[in-house]
Structure 1
Amino acid sequence: MIRNVRYYIFLKDVLMLAVTTFGGPQAHLAHFQKILVDKRQYLSEEELLEINSLCQILPGPTSTQTLTAIGFKIGGPNLAYLTLILWILPGVTFMTLAAMMMSSIEQKNWSTEFTRFIQPMAVGFVSYGAYTISVKTIHTKTGVALMILAAVLSYFIQTPFIFPIVLLCSGLLTALKYKAQPKEEKTKIIIPWANFLLWAGVLIGAAALGGITKALPVRLFENFYRNGSLIFGGGQVLTPLLYTEFVQYAPKQYLSSQEFLSGYAVAQSLPGPVFSFSSYIGALSMREYGTAGQLVGGFVAALGIFLPGTFLIFFVIRFWESLKKYRAVRASLEGITAASAGLVIASAVILFQPLENTVMNFAVTIITFVLLAFTRVWSPLIILGGLLLGFLLRYV
């Protein structure tokens, strides 16, 4: 009876976190510390930081994986899946509705001039993401070099396939520096493969089914599942992949640059996981199928982007205690995070290029970055300020 009550309280805490935590993985971790460690004592601070570190070396949304791993630790897979649903539900719902609203505005030929500053503001958010990743994770010359190289490669080779290659190679390079890591006594690793096979089976099955049926919902699920299986570093790194695949990649181009940047800015102003932005893209990708199609698009995008990280954390957490004793595993994190920062830097440049090179756009981007980096102004207030300024200039 006590355990059931505790599970209920934990899920209530998760829902509260989903509607109150802004700012991405770094800020989310502080909220997790305050509620789950200090207030409820579900786990110790050391356990929280260790789980978060584990999630950083896995592909997928770091905050989401950390929270679901805590649910897994407390109550096993069932509680973990309920944790996942409650954590992503508010953000996914709102972003799907935002896409439907954007589609409706365009169909009625209403002016969206009042959103003119949202796009340069979105570039400011991405730039801030690159800044925070680089400042907090890059402390060596090797890291700086890998960050610059990743930025250059992803800028000049704008294809979805360059990202996993850059991340993998960077991780392998710094893994060679394993001797710099302290030694720990190793234990035999016993690996339960069920969740890994589930992850791989869904990946292969979705690709095969999409190729056979050519159905757009299946292909969208495969696209997002593949991206969710390859992304290290959180929502900031997700942005360049999705922009390349859904805006620039010629066979698709489901969204315009303006639609993409407007949606990304909205996602930054919401609490919860930034990965919920995928629902916005999925819904707009199926706008030709009406309201029902957009709802399906938002759902399959969310399912695709969040499932792989969940499967992988369930797979690794079972043998993490043994795996983390290997120095090469810990050393590879340096290269992965450095390359992630480089990808985000390149994405900020790429996202700004479609905008007009006006003093106002440059100023809005820089002001947004400065407010995020050097003040405590709430992200939603920055977005509302941009919308208000655009409205005043358009109508007043």
Structure 2
Amino acid sequence: MLEVLAVFFRLGLTSFGGPTAHLGYFRDEFVQRRKWMTEEEYADLVAVCQFMPGPASSQVGMAIGLKRAGYAGMFAAWIGFTMPSVILMVAFALGVARLGDISDAGWLAGLKAAAVAVVTQAVMGMSKSIITDAWRAAIALGAFLVVLLVPNPFTQVGVIAAGMVAGVLLFGRERNGENDADHVAATRSKTQSRTVGAVALATFGALLVFLPMIAGAVRNTGVGIFDSFYRAGALVFGGGHVVLPLLEQATVPTGLVDHDSFLAGYGAAQAVPGPLFTFASFLGASAEGVPWLWGATIATVAIFLPAALLVIGVMPFWDRLRQHPMAASALAGANAAVVGILAAALYNPVFTAGVHSPGTMGVAAAAFVALHSFKLPAWAVVIAAALVGGIAL
């Protein structure tokens, strides 16, 4: 558990660039460097988390912690990856970190350029391992084009589903041998109870149904915040920016947070590492009618709780399902689709936001060489890119 906490805390301090970049950092750390899972196991995990509502990168992190060190490992992964961002966002809400307009800051430009390199390396590495024939390449290309041309969170879910169908039709039982090898590699993973998983899924649904009724009955500000943020975390596919309309609707019209504060907090959320869902921590700390610490705690727990319940609920069944021959074929197609989705995200928003001048292109290229050729750890490359950006961009 302490190992998981330490690794994810470092990632929580250095994982800039949004959810797609986070997946690149995770792959570099847990597939390449630490060998906690195989390339295909990691792609399987990304695929199932894309299917679930909530913050996909945080769910992948929770699932890695769960497989490595059980429920305590899952909690450690969430705390380590999330708390640095939570602390920064709450500090900003209290006025400690008033940085003004940081959208043009050189260090932030360097961080965004480094994210381009991290995601590029992840897409290349996953392509090499997963795209092993022409049909897988065709599935990846189709996913890339559809996601690029129809930028909608539900498009990603549909593309993965289509990839699974294509996998069943095209690959049959060819992955049996590979799947056995995968599970030999995974023998050290912690196993989870299906009973606990069923209870977690039932709790997820019960809270979604009954929390609005409880909030309406008691009319308490804290309960109302918990209800609003729980629904935001439970009903949003794609995570990140997609959750903003729900959060805005839950806070601004109700008078919890004024519109200017909402926009200021959103701007600050772009500049901190870790998941964008910690914007909820800023909103909770800024909410009228509750103490800042209580509001931040309620909002943070509420928005991440659906993701945690889904990971606990789905993983025990998923680990068993993926051993079935037909499921293995479906996952072969889904993994190819995931590569296409990540490639589309590499272009938009990672590349379009990170490379906008010759200088940022140079930082991105240097970061890629440092990662790919010199094999430097991602966290060191990110820090160096921020320093270069602060001096030269």
TM-score (structure 1 length as normaliser): 0.67
AA aligned opposite 2:278: Y
User: Which residues in structure 2 correspond to 1:1-396 (within 5 Å)?
Assistant: 11-19=1-9, 23-25=25-27, 27-29=29-31, 55=45, 58-59=48-49, 61-62=59-60, 64-71=62-69, 80-101=70-91, 104=95, 107=98, 109=100, 113-114=105-106, 115-181=108-174, 195-196=197-198, 198-199=200-201, 202-203=204-205, 205-206=207-208, 209=211, 215=224, 217-226=226-235, 241-246=238-243, 259=268, 261-263=270-272, 266-267=273-274, 277-284=275-282, 286=284, 288-289=286-287, 291-292=292-293, 293-317=295-319, 320=320, 323=321, 326-351=324-349, 352-354=351-353, 357-393=356-392
Give the Å deviation of 1:386.
2.4
The verdict on how the C-alpha distance between 1:151 and 1:119 changes in structure 2, with shifts beyond 3 A counting, is: same
CA distance in 2 between counterparts of 1:33 and 1:197 reads 31
The verdict on how the C-alpha distance between 1:370 and 1:203 changes in structure 2, with shifts beyond 3 A counting, is: farther
The verdict on how the C-alpha distance between 1:376 and 1:285 changes in structure 2, with shifts beyond 3 A counting, is: farther
The verdict on how the C-alpha distance between 1:289 and 1:108 changes in structure 2, with shifts beyond 3 A counting, is: farther
Give the Å deviation of 1:262.
3.2
Give the Å deviation of 1:388.
1.9
State, as a whole percentage, how many aligned pairs show the same letter: 11
Give the Å deviation of 1:343.
1.4
Contact 1:199-1:308 within 8 A present in 2 as well: yes
CA distance in 2 between counterparts of 1:101 and 1:116 reads 22
Contact 2:123-2:342 within 8 A present in 1 as well: yes
CA distance in 2 between counterparts of 1:125 and 1:210 reads 41
Contact 2:140-2:336 within 8 A present in 1 as well: yes
Give the Å deviation of 1:202.
1.3
Note the alpha carbon deviations across 1:236-262, whole angstroms, 9 max, x for none: xxxxx3345146999779779965653
Structure 1 stretches of 5 or more lacking a match?
Answer: 1-10, 35-44, 72-79, 185-190, 231-240, 268-276
CA distance in 2 between counterparts of 1:150 and 1:176 reads 17
Contact 1:221-1:301 within 8 A present in 2 as well: yes
CA distance in 1 between counterparts of 2:356 and 2:34 reads 41
Match for residue 233 of structure 1?
none
Contact 1:247-1:255 within 8 A present in 2 as well: no
AA aligned opposite 1:131: M
AA aligned opposite 2:144: A
The verdict on how the C-alpha distance between 1:140 and 1:160 changes in structure 2, with shifts beyond 3 A counting, is: same
Contact 1:51-1:66 within 8 A present in 2 as well: no
The verdict on how the C-alpha distance between 1:312 and 1:354 changes in structure 2, with shifts beyond 3 A counting, is: same
Contact 2:240-2:277 within 8 A present in 1 as well: no
The verdict on how the C-alpha distance between 1:201 and 1:132 changes in structure 2, with shifts beyond 3 A counting, is: same
Contact 2:116-2:354 within 8 A present in 1 as well: no
Contact 1:51-1:69 within 8 A present in 2 as well: no
AA aligned opposite 1:262: A
TM-score (structure 2 length as normaliser): 0.68
The verdict on how the C-alpha distance between 1:363 and 1:64 changes in structure 2, with shifts beyond 3 A counting, is: same
CA distance in 1 between counterparts of 2:171 and 2:89 reads 46
AA aligned opposite 1:376: K
AA aligned opposite 1:307: L
AA aligned opposite 1:145: A
Output the aligned Cα RMSD: 4.1
The verdict on how the C-alpha distance between 1:314 and 1:29 changes in structure 2, with shifts beyond 3 A counting, is: same
Contact 1:174-1:332 within 8 A present in 2 as well: yes
CA distance in 1 between counterparts of 2:68 and 2:149 reads 40
The verdict on how the C-alpha distance between 1:126 and 1:137 changes in structure 2, with shifts beyond 3 A counting, is: same
Note the alpha carbon deviations across 1:152-210, whole angstroms, 9 max, x for none: 211222222111111111112101235342679xxxxxx96773464265147427756
SS in 2 for 1:161: helix
Contact 1:203-1:226 within 8 A present in 2 as well: no
Structure 2 stretches of 5 or more lacking a match?
Answer: 15-24, 50-55, 178-192, 217-223, 250-258
Contact 1:368-1:382 within 8 A present in 2 as well: yes
AA aligned opposite 1:349: Y
Give the Å deviation of 1:102.
5.3
The verdict on how the C-alpha distance between 1:344 and 1:325 changes in structure 2, with shifts beyond 3 A counting, is: closer
